[in-house]
Copies of this chain bind each other. A is one copy, B any other.
Amino acid sequence: MTSKQTRQATASEAALLRIFTLPEAPHSTLSQIEKNLSENLMGFLKENIVAVEKPLTEIEKDFQAHQIPASPSFVSDYAEQMMQTLIAHSVHTSAPSFIGHMTSALPYFVLPLSKMMVGLNQNLVKIETSKAFTPLERQVLGMMHHLVYGQADDFYDNWMHSANHSLGAFCSGGTVANITALWIARNRLLKADGDFRGVTASGLLSALRHYGYDDLAILVSTRGHYSLGKTADLLGIGRDNIIQIPCAKDNKVDVVKMRAAANELKARNIKVIAIVGVAGTTETGNIDPLNALADLAAELECHFHVDAAWGGASLLSNKYRHLLAGIERADSVTIDAHKQMYVPMGAGMVLFKDPQLANAIKHHAEYILRKGSKDLGSQTLEGSRPGMAMLVHACLQVIGRDGYEILINNSLEKARDFAELIKQQEDFQLVSAPELCLLTYRYVPAKVQRLLKQAVLDNDLNKVSQINGLLDGLTKFIQKRQREQGKSFVSRTRITPEDNLELTSVVFRVVLANPLTGDDILQQVLEEQREIAQQDNPFLPQLLTL
């Protein structure tokens, strides 16, 4: 059964063991490779372009092999190959002209720290495999909890490191954070009761029978993030039971309509599990009236969750945190540190007002997560997890409240300046003004703006529809061409502008989170879009001859 002979170190085996052994010399091959990789990466990050344009189908040719290669490769050869095929065709998410998504620049000190984090290879599911990382993660959650809820000192002294309490849950991102929050809300609502063992043990069918509800629902605005639909699917609630309430013209949920919907559900014996407030919608960056939603949740006796995955970072600004007033009344709040907190990808959090909340999803196992332990894994959706909280911890300390104050304020004010700049252009139309640092707009020649305005006044749906359709084509054309040119990147989405006879339009979407994005770049973005609009396309000529 055993075979000591075959375990004699052969030459290839010795080579293999070397890769697990610490490189001794500062000038080892690995150090050299690291230096080359760093230089290549820095070279890539220094060039202010979004990406070398190459069609995806071309890139795929470098990733065709479907068999794991038989022979090992030299690390140097592999690194060389990746610089050509992967780095060169990555997206330069930290470029100052990459203003299309919430992924932005990173402070450079996170790079050596992340290498350290990976090297330590801690597993946060359990203290036995993470030790000091566990109190560190609890501290990060405590600090973020304090940012949102601002409880008194003894609150944190009592609960931050308590085995049976959680001020939040760290996870890979906002989607898992939202799922966790609503999973808790569902389980608290359908808790054990007398002989009934709760939805946790007995499932949704028995739970609805026990409590006598005909169905469940979650209320959120039409601007809620798509992860909520995924959550409803996963939790067995069903996507159709995410009741989407229309927004007012300011892209904030209409609370009167939400209350009416809740009453209507109640009449149908459908129980509302939770109301979700959006604090920074993905498409327009607006914040729901959180205090009014908190009032409604209290009336309905349901869970109040705020999805502040992106907007939550604005709480770090004393000047602007009033925009999120009422968030401290939420039972749970999602915040992604990898959005405007400038932490690398993979750092999501959900915070719980009540430190007992997460007990609704608590679980144990004999070989891990024993009862009474401080293991973080007993209250998380994920199991094994890396020590990403360390990078949040680092940013909170190194940047500090004062640093974030400047970063967030500049970002919001840059968005206001850009909105002004757009308004000054006669051939651009600001579609949604920035409440945080996100805005939408489109290119509309002055003449067409006048035509559109008149058609709206005339209530001429055909005409508005015709103009709108051509503008959609033009906006898509500009956005794609600009991305292909590789100098800058804005994203696009579909929203319903004011005064558009309820018609949905394609718009440019800009997120101004990168501290290095200057006014000059924003001007260039508009100039480039104006130039592209004149390039060969069927839309502009038709618009101009209307």
Contacts and interface: CB of A to CB of B under 8 A. Distances in A.
A414 interface: yes
A420 interface: yes
Given A20-B106, A22-B45, A105-B20, A183 B34 contact: no
Interface string A430-452: 00000000000000000000000
A112 B494 CA distance: 40
A489 B365 CA distance: 20
A402 interface: yes
A323 to B, nearest CB: 13
Nearest to A13: B406
A397 B78 contact: yes
A403 B143 contact: no
A12 interface: yes
A107 B75 CA distance: 11
Interface stretch (A1-9, A351-359, A521-529, A534-542): A1-9
Contacts of A361: 230, 233
Contact of A173 (B187, B382, B493): B382
A152 to B, nearest CB: 10
A488 interface: no
A532 interface: no
Contacts of A369: 226
A149 B484 CA distance: 38
Nearest to A43: B22
A200 B239 contact: yes
Contact of A410 (B13, B133, B172, B225): B13
Contacts of A71: 400-402
Interface in A63-95: 63-75, 78-79, 82, 85-91, 93-94
B111 A115 contact: yes
A385 B60 contact: no
Given A176-B382, A200-B233, A345 B123 contact: yes
B135 A59 contact: yes
A42 B22 contact: yes
A201 B75 CA distance: 48
Give the 6 A-B CB pairs with smallest separation, nearest first.
Answer: A236-B236, A203-B238, A175-B383, A204-B236, A226-B365, A89-B132
